[in-house]
């Protein structure tokens, strides 16, 4: 009997210590989903709140969770500075805060703190749209710092560049998909700007390799605000990168391009900047073409340049399914696609593109934050801070909760995250931890 009790205690301890973190912008599975259970569906700004803290400024950066640490990239609006912050997950206490640079924005649509941090539980890495990249220990001590802009040249983007770093199997990945010529005085002058994937040692920040990524894109169509996503396709681990009119797969160890596909902009018209990241599931990769264009489901089962035989299906005949800004989620064997322009949320079969259900998004404001899929539910949040919980099985609305009342030009863009049976919601003014 004593042995049974001891075994039960060990199982409980092991289960507690292996509760899922949310270490990356798109979560532990890199697809917007988690296996977390018992997530809340009822709360308010004061009820069922484990804790909440005031934030010094707005940002689109997602809360990142590792064990009992919550990491946030932010601006301090009053001081016009860029911050790295860490809170105690159990009580919301501020554990450390670092001011890393002065100056927070160059345009009205975004700020330099939009990229989300990333962690492996040993080091946490913050990237800012200025090019500043910093690695900290869990205790907040700075381990290393570098400027990608200083090392490889200023970013050639019309708007503020934003791509979150990816940490996977001991390597730190960052993509810079930019224009080949300067725009509004930004970018290298007198030489061609090159798009690239940069891979670093997360312990030191030192470059391991830099893979250039040429395309035939024109003008703004070069620009991508997506994030590189690791995936296993046809038995091969690889890094997925989308932007510049193409979707590519790369060897994780060398950066070598394994395959490429891209026919959503065959005439290479300008003005087709790309925002959503790729998402993979059941051997299919979704590439969300921009600005009301269809979504393409690609099955990359061969090497080199893929033709349209690689297209499993598209949403060309389904006008309500597009995704100009939000990245879809993959959960429970299906894709969940949030359309910010068509104001719909849809559950789609990965092999056929069959729509299992489609609903209009409940709120009046725009939904640009990417969906969270967990515990049989889909969580979405709009610019006004309205949070909606939808039943993943049938698309029925479970609840809508107002979490913010933004003022001025600030809007809610950060995706909701989940860890340790809790939800983390970032509004324009606060960070909420919801649940027990």
Specify the number of domains making up the chain: 1
Which pLDDT belongs to residue 19? 54
Sheet holding 142-147: strands in order across?
118-119, 123-127, 132-137, 142-147
Distance CA 157, CA 161 (A): 6
Provide the 10 A C-beta neighbour count for residue 292: 11
SS3 149: helix
Distance CA 375, CA 176 (A): 34
pLDDT band at 320 (very low <50, low <70, confident <90, very high): confident
Residues in a beta bridge with 136:
124, 142
Based on its alpha-carbon atoms, the radius of gyration of the chain, rounded to whole angstroms, reads: 21
Residue 55 lies in a domain: no
Q: Across residues 306-323, what is the average pLDDT?
A: 91
Distance CA 371, CA 379 (A): 6
Residues in a beta bridge with 344:
339, 360
Distance CA 78, CA 58 (A): 11
Could you give phi then psi for residue 8, rounded to 5 degrees? -60, -45
pLDDT single digits (tens) 217-264? 999 999 999 999 999 998 999 999 999 999 999 999 999 999 999 989
Q: Across residues 7-34, what is the average pLDDT?
A: 69
78 vs 190, residue with greater confidence: 78
Domain that holds residue 377: 91-402
From the list 219, 319, 230, 299, the residue with the least C-alpha distance to 265 is 219
Residue 355 lies in a domain: yes
Q: Which domain CATH number covers 194?
A: 2.130.10.10
pLDDT band at 15 (very low <50, low <70, confident <90, very high): very low
> What is the reported pTM?
0.94
Residues 6+ apart with CB under 8 A from 122: 137, 138
Q: Across residues 411-417, what is the average pLDDT?
A: 97
Residue 428 lies in a domain: no
The burial class, CB within 10 Å (0-12 / 13-18 / 19+), for 355 is middle
pLDDT band at 18 (very low <50, low <70, confident <90, very high): very low
Residue 34 lies in a domain: no
Share of the chain above pLDDT 70, in %: 96
The burial class, CB within 10 Å (0-12 / 13-18 / 19+), for 315 is buried
Distance CA 301, CA 310 (A): 8
Residue 46 lies in a domain: no
Q: Please check whether residue 390 is in contact with residue 50, taking contact to mean a CB–CB distance below 8 angstroms.
A: no
Mean pLDDT of the chain: 94
- SS3 assignment for 8-48: HHHHHHHHHHCCCCECCCCCCCCCCECCCCCCCCCCCCCCC
**Does 130 have pLDDT greater than 50?**
yes
Which pLDDT belongs to residue 12? 37
**Does 9 have pLDDT greater than 60?**
no
pLDDT band at 2 (very low <50, low <70, confident <90, very high): very low
**Does 3 have pLDDT greater than 50?**
no
Length of the chain as a residue count: 436
Tokens 């919601």 locate to 425
pLDDT band at 13 (very low <50, low <70, confident <90, very high): very low
Tokens 């080949």 locate to 180
From the list 287, 309, 291, the residue with the least C-alpha distance to 229 is 287
Q: Across residues 357-378, what is the average pLDDT?
A: 97
Distance CA 430, CA 380 (A): 17
Residue 81 lies in a domain: no
Q: Please check whether residue 377 is in contact with residue 390, taking contact to mean a CB–CB distance below 8 angstroms.
A: yes
pLDDT band at 1 (very low <50, low <70, confident <90, very high): very low
**Does 302 have pLDDT greater than 70?**
yes
Could you give phi then psi for residue 151, rounded to 5 degrees? -75, -40
Largest Cα span, the chain: 78
Residue 423 lies in a domain: no
Residues 6+ apart with CB under 8 A from 36: 19, 20, 374, 375, 418, 419, 420, 421
pLDDT single digits (tens) 160-211? 999 999 999 999 999 999 999 999 989 998 889 999 999 999 999 999 999 9
**Does 17 have pLDDT greater than 50?**
no
Question: Computed from CA positions of residues 145, 149, 150, 152, in that sequence, does the dihedral angle turn out positive or negative?
Answer: positive
From the list 350, 302, 340, 304, the residue with the least C-alpha distance to 320 is 340
Residue 16 lies in a domain: no
Provide the 10 A C-beta neighbour count for residue 251: 14
Provide the 10 A C-beta neighbour count for residue 103: 13
């Amino acid at each position: 009997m004593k042995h049974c009790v001891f075994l039960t205690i060990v199982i409980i301890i092991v289960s507690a210590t292996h509760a899922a973190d949310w270490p990356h912008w798109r979560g532990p599975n890199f697809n917007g989903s988690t296996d977390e259970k018992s997530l809340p569906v009822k709360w308010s700004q004061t009820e069922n709140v484990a804790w909440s803290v005031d934030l010094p400024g707005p940002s689109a950066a997602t809360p990142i969770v590792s064990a009992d640490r919550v990491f946030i990239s932010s601006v301090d609006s009053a001081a016009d500075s860029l911050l790295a912050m860490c809170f105690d997950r159990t009580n919301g206490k501020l554990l450390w805060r670092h001011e890393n640079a002065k100056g927070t924005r160059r345009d009205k649509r975004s700020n330099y703190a939009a990229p989300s941090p990333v962690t492996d539980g040993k080091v946490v890495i913050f990237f800012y749209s200025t090019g500043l990249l910093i690695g900290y220990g869990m205790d907040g001590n700075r381990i290393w710092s570098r400027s990608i802009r200083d090392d490889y040249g200023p970013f050639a983007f019309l708007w503020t560049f934003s791509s979150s770093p990816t940490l996977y199997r001991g390597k730190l990945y960052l993509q810079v998909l930019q224009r080949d010529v300067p725009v509004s005085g930004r970018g290298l002058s007198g030489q061609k700007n090159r798009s690239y994937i940069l891979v670093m040692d997360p312990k030191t920040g030192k470059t391991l390799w830099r893979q250039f990524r040429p395309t035939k894109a024109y003008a703004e169509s070069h620009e991508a605000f997506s994030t590189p996503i690791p995936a296993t396709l046809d038995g091969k681990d690889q890094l997925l990168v989308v932007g510049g009119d193409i979707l590519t797969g790369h060897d994780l160890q060398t950066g070598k391009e394994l395959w490429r596909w891209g026919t959503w902009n065959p005439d290479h018209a300008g003005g087709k900047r790309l925002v959503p990241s790729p998402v993979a599931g059941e051997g299919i990769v979704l590439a969300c073409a921009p600005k009301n264009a269809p979504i393409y489901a690609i099955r990359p089962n061969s090497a080199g340049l893929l033709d349209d035989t690689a297209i499993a299906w598209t949403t060309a005949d389904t006008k309500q399914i597009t995704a100009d800004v939000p990245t879809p989620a993959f959960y429970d064997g299906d894709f969940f696609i949030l359309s910010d322009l068509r104001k719909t949320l849809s559950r789609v079969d990965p092999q056929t593109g069959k729509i299992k259900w489609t609903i209009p998004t409940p709120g009046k404001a725009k939904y640009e934050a990417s969906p969270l899929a967990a515990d049989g539910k889909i969580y979405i949040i709009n610019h006004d801070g309205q949070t909606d919980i939808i039943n993943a099985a049938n698309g029925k609305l479970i609840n809508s909760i107002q979490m913010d009342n933004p003022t001025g030009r600030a809007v809610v863009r950060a995706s909701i995250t989940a860890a340790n049976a809790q939800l983390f919601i970032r509004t324009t003014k606060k960070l909420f931890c919801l649940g027990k």
